[in-house]
Structure 1
Amino acid sequence: MACTMAGATRALEVKAAVLRIDQDALLPISRLDLKPDDMGFAGGVLATEDNQTTGTFLGMDYSLETVAVSPEEAQAALERLLGEGISLVVVMSDDATLLALADAAGDRALLLNATAPGDELRNDECRANVLHIAPSRSMKTDALAQYLMWKKWGDWVLIQGSHPEDFALADAYRRSARKFGARIVEERGFEDTGGARRTDTGYVLVQRQIPVFTQKMKRHDIVVAADEADVFAAHLPYHTWGPDLVVGSAGLRPVTWSPAHEAWGATQFQTRFEKLTRRYAREEDYQVWLALRVIGEAATRTGEADPASIRAYALGQEFTLAAFKGQPVTFRPWNGQLRQPILLSDGRVNVSVSPQDGYLHQVSPLDTLGTDAPETTCTAFTEEADR
């Protein structure tokens, strides 16, 4: 579909797209997590309306094209967008697809990563033509670790799934534990054996399996679930052998957005989104909205809409953007990652927001989350600056 908001003049046309790569996947454990057809796209429509509100007075015309394709069709879809003169592309994909698209685009486009969480994308595999709106895994695990240490819940049992993304998430939790002084007293692995997780017999199996699986764990304060594939974590609360607190992929979760969030003006975002879509905003919607607002802010300040100008302003010291999280968001110039607070939500209320008080940093407390400048192995951005 296409969305165009035309102002009174056409002094500057700002053309953007949201390219969503739809992977084959099992149904989520809970029907409450079923993905809407307009996932991400709805955030894009709202952001385009917001951008045009300012653009109308400045003689700017914002347009948005939304495209959903399979992984096999991704590069052809990107080429078609480039052929239409659209060089600002918000990408919703996994890590591997984002890398392939970035390499195919080269300097013809600026890609804004709305969903891929891989830490390697911000380090060894970083690309100069990609800005990361989605937080890395380590930003989220650091956000949760800070809160757990503030609560003095320093002894963790880590339960990880059997999929590659689960291993990556578990590695991020291990790094966060070392970084903030937590102790992983025991690790267990949950093997995905398939099966119908949402059938009547599935409930019976879960009620029998999880308590046995969690028997005789070493003394601990908290159970940390690393289940990015959404196989078992949702079943841990109330099913463990003992009365355990569960965090991570279930229970208390680190998220960029929650329908329960209403502080710092977030209520007006929620109500406008719900009026537009008749549903609650998901993380993907918020991250696409944020990506397009980055484009809008940079275009407004520079009067330009080409990838190089948008990128340069976004990475500069003057760029800030209100994001309904209590402080403006900015980019890390060493790897193109957007700094942003992380909400800690139990699904009904926001329990806290990280970074936590007391975690100080010489530049920004937000840089206590994820890869800091002295730790980065990303060289693409420094090489670009040296040219």
Structure 2
Amino acid sequence: MTIGYLEQVEVQPPVLSNLDPVPENEGLSGAELGLKDNATTGRFLKQSYSLETRIVDVGGDFEAAARELLALTPFVVVKAPRKNLLMLADLPEAGSAILFNAGSPDTDLRNEACRVNVLHTLPSRAMLTDALAQFAVRRKWTDWVMLSGPNPKDEAFADSIAGSARKFGITMRESKVWDVDADMRRNAFQELPLFTQDFPEHDLLIVADETDDFGRYVPFNSWEPRPVAGTEGLVPAAWDRTVEQWGAAQLQKRFEKGAERPMRPVDYAAWAAVRVIGEAVTRTNQAEPSAIRAYILSDDFELAGFKGRPQTFRTWNGQMRQPIPVTHGRAVVAQAPFEGFLHQRTELDTLGIDEAETACTAFRE
């Protein structure tokens, strides 16, 4: 069994701080660990796994790399922006392939822009912001204000926050875009109180800063002493180094031994994608994409993802159901979904796009 890993390197926007650079091997290290885990089980069943990797630099030919990889295997883990993922999914060579999205949280990829040959092991933004909204409702922090960045990813997160607020009956009292041109490393103590002093009374200050620019300077510098959440402070994520229960500490140690750094959300999504393939091959004893896909989307499939609950796939859009840890950087505060948010199928479907509201039609054909 050959598994492909395809990555498009993105240009990172300039930010105020370089304290937390994105690792060059983010995603790939997770796929490599997943391959080792598959090999451990496969050794007893006379199954062997290999990883073919294609990493496309900025300005490189992503389509050529994709075609080259699809000629070798129909199973490809992808870390790429939305436009590249859609281009890959629409290639004639990818028609019978199974592509695992481990890099893009864009909710529309699980909705109106879904593709039948794309499964998602990375949570959507809607799943992340729904997890935060559920936590806030449980705490009765239902009056929000928001500070968002000007970049497209920041805007996408802010839109998702607004959608989750409506979904769970939270009042967004005001939203402002951070457009201050100042060195916050020196001026945060002066600038942020002034910028936030006209916010109305609120329970929670939401920060939408996916580009990791100004958000780190917001906690303890707002005009009103309120908790901070979103992309800073209290953060919902697919994975975090603080996740330790349900055997996760063992996964964390194995990853750190190989990558020499903590596991990040994209690493976890890539690891999960490779493990999904391994689990499906083990259970079906087949390697044909049609048989593997049918099993993955069946009621019989589940992945032990070290989050305390079996992880399965939604048959209406290919999203992997999974709990969402809500952390503050040094500990897991809680894990969504929370008690009281009921669903006729599984509480995990209270996070993100449910079947009744999906605009994805590809999986119905």
- From 155, 174, 195, the counterpart of 1:186: 174
Residue segments in structure 2 that go unaligned for 5+ positions in a row: none
CA contact (8 A) 1:29 1:234 kept: no
State which drifts further: 270-279 or 357-366. 270-279
Q: Which residue of 2 aligns with 1:41?
A: 28
Task: Give, as a single letter, the amino acid of the residue that structure 2 aligns with 1:82.
Answer: L
Q: Distance in 1 between matches of 2:131 and 2:180?
A: 27
CA contact (8 A) 1:334 1:382 kept: yes
CA contact (8 A) 1:89 1:111 kept: yes
State which drifts further: 133-142 or 65-74. 65-74
Q: Distance in 1 between matches of 2:96 and 2:310?
A: 29
**What's the offset of the Cα at 1:165?**
1.9
Aligned length: 363
Q: Distance in 2 between matches of 1:260 and 1:122?
A: 28
Q: Distance in 2 between matches of 1:330 and 1:357?
A: 20
Q: Distance in 2 between matches of 1:106 and 1:113?
A: 14
- From 21, 30, 37, the counterpart of 1:50: 37
Q: Which residue of 1 aligns with 2:162?
A: 174
Matches within 5 A, 1:1-387: 14-26=1-13, 29-70=16-57, 72-83=60-71, 85-104=72-91, 105-191=93-179, 201-383=183-365
Q: Distance in 1 between matches of 2:246 and 2:280?
A: 23
**What's the offset of the Cα at 1:202?**
4.4
Q: Distance in 1 between matches of 2:101 and 2:308?
A: 23
Q: Distance in 2 between matches of 1:29 and 1:86?
A: 41
**What's the offset of the Cα at 1:28?**
5.2
**What's the offset of the Cα at 1:82?**
1.8
Q: Deviation digits for residues 278-313 of structure 1, max 9, x if unmatched?
A: 211111111110010000011111112232222111
Q: Distance in 2 between matches of 1:210 and 1:295?
A: 47
**What's the offset of the Cα at 1:207?**
3.0
Secondary structure at 2:95's aligned position in 1?
A: helix
Q: Distance in 1 between matches of 2:171 and 2:216?
A: 24
Q: Distance in 1 between matches of 2:126 and 2:26?
A: 24
State which drifts further: 65-74 or 326-335. 65-74
TM-score calculated relative to the size of structure 1? 0.90
CA contact (8 A) 1:28 1:34 kept: no
Pair 371,290 (structure 1): closer, same or farther in 2 beyond 3 Å: same
Q: Distance in 2 between matches of 1:56 and 1:190?
A: 54
Secondary structure at 2:305's aligned position in 1?
A: coil
Q: Distance in 2 between matches of 1:61 and 1:55?
A: 6
Q: Distance in 1 between matches of 2:35 and 2:298?
A: 23
Q: Distance in 2 between matches of 1:191 and 1:155?
A: 23
Q: Distance in 2 between matches of 1:70 and 1:110?
A: 23
**What's the offset of the Cα at 1:32?**
4.3
TM-score calculated relative to the size of structure 2? 0.96
Task: Give, as a single letter, the amino acid of the residue that structure 2 aligns with 1:229.
Answer: T
Residue segments in structure 1 that go unaligned for 5+ positions in a row: 1-13, 196-200
CA contact (8 A) 1:22 1:93 kept: yes
